[in-house]
Amino acid sequence: MNKINRLFAENKDRKLLSLYFCAGCPTLDNTGDVIKTLERRGIDMIEVGIPFSDPLADGPVIQSAGTIALRNGMTLRLLFDQLREIKDEVQIPLVLMGYLNVIMHYGIEKFCQSCVEAGVSGAIIPDLPFKDYMEVVKPIADKYDLRIIMMITPETSEERIRFIDEHTDGFIYMVSSASITGAQKSFDDAKQAYFRRINEMNLKNPRMIGFGISNKQTLESAQSNAAGAIIGSKFVTLLNETKDADKAMDMLYDALRK
């Protein structure tokens, strides 16, 4: 069974926590150490960012991390090499998050094959058109048992959400707002209404809520309305400040208690 499916099947009564960081930032060779540290510190799933020069959905924190990673020399090929080195040491699901241009340049089939060889269970491609997903990417990903995770926002129509739910497997990435990534202090009434609306749709796929989670209030709101939460910008900031994943986790857990 794919590790993503197993994670949700085995944890239906527990709220999950996933973290994002950008490969190659703050240093080129810290990818494996960060992943192993996050698993040891109780994180359930990790999104590893593939740096890109024009990340449209990312806020300034993650854009800056990508710029640093590219300057450090991070490439998709090098990332796969780093992940293969730790493949047998990591049990939790790893999900690559990157833009279509980089993946197309690498080659869709080669990308899916490399994911399997490196112990990656899924991929998030924010700018992948759903038509291209269905016609081009999905058949290849299915061949390699790789989950392609699709995003929904408050502006995604019910028809499109149900179509995504029907044609994907793993989880749905529920973006808390239609804006770019970045920490928020709270989720307003409009976001809460969006969470309730999606809950009432009774989708078959579990959902993880991301974008803007940085404290106790936003974490609890996300976890009460989905299978779990995804934290990106807050952890990336702390990792860049400390240059140490353990220290960054100490500070993150402290922030999530406030």
By annotation, the residues acting in catalysis are: 47, 58
* Alpha helices, H only, 50-157: 60-72, 76-86, 100-106, 108-117, 130-132, 138-143
Query: How many C-alpha atoms does 18 have within 13 Å on its Cβ side?
Result: 29
Contact between 217 and 186 (Cβ < 8 Å): yes
Name residue 81's amino acid: D
Query: CB under 8 Å to 135, separation ≥6 — which residues?
Result: none
How far is it, in rounded angstroms, from Cα 137 to Cα 150? 12
Phi, psi of 7 (to 5 degrees): -55, -50
Contact between 89 and 35 (Cβ < 8 Å): no
Tokens of 177: 């707002």
Name residue 116's amino acid: V
State which H helix or E strand residue 19 sits in. strand 16-22
How far is it, in rounded angstroms, from Cα 256 to Cα 258? 6
